Structure 1
Amino acid sequence: MELTLQIKKDLALTNKLLSQGMVSTRDPETGFRYIICASCPNDGGDGTVSRIDRKDNVVERVLFCCSTCGKEFVVKPEDIFLT
């Protein structure tokens, strides 16, 4: 069985997730679980969630960690994608 990585850029869904205090969601039609990710601004490496700052159950800030350089970074919601 071959697995295909699904990448989705959806600002409305990203904002909805963050406002609900979440960083992942499951597609009800396919069952695929999406989690927010971002590209490192330094080298373009894949960034995965490393820390989440919440206030009143709303995600205020997500820190991502680059798989290439190992540095943490923050991006705007419009630069976040789901994979």
Structure 2
Amino acid sequence: MGSFSIWHWLIVLLIVVMVFGTKKLKNIGSDLGQAVKGFKDGMKDGAAPEQPATPPAAQVTQQAASEPSTTIDVQAKQKG
């Protein structure tokens, strides 16, 4: 009883098709395919070298010079 013959698998397949129907099995297959594709795309994105999150200092100073300042300077008092 270790291995099943082709007839056992065909009977199991027939029962599964009768229980779930072909449309349901098609939807399950396409959902599984999309999940595998999404996983592969995620693995590709994770393997790509990451870009630095902060721009270089030269670009920051150029942006600061071109944009008006919206910060307010406040002197903090220290408790002594």
Q: Same fold (TM over 0.5)?
A: no
Bigger relative contact order, structure 1 or 2, given CA contacts below 8 A and separation 6+?
1
TM-score bracket, shorter-length normalisation? under 0.3
TM-score, normalised to structure 1's length?
A: 0.21
Computing the radius of gyration from Cα coordinates, the structure with the larger value is 2
Task: Name the structure where helix makes up a greater proportion of residues.
Answer: 2
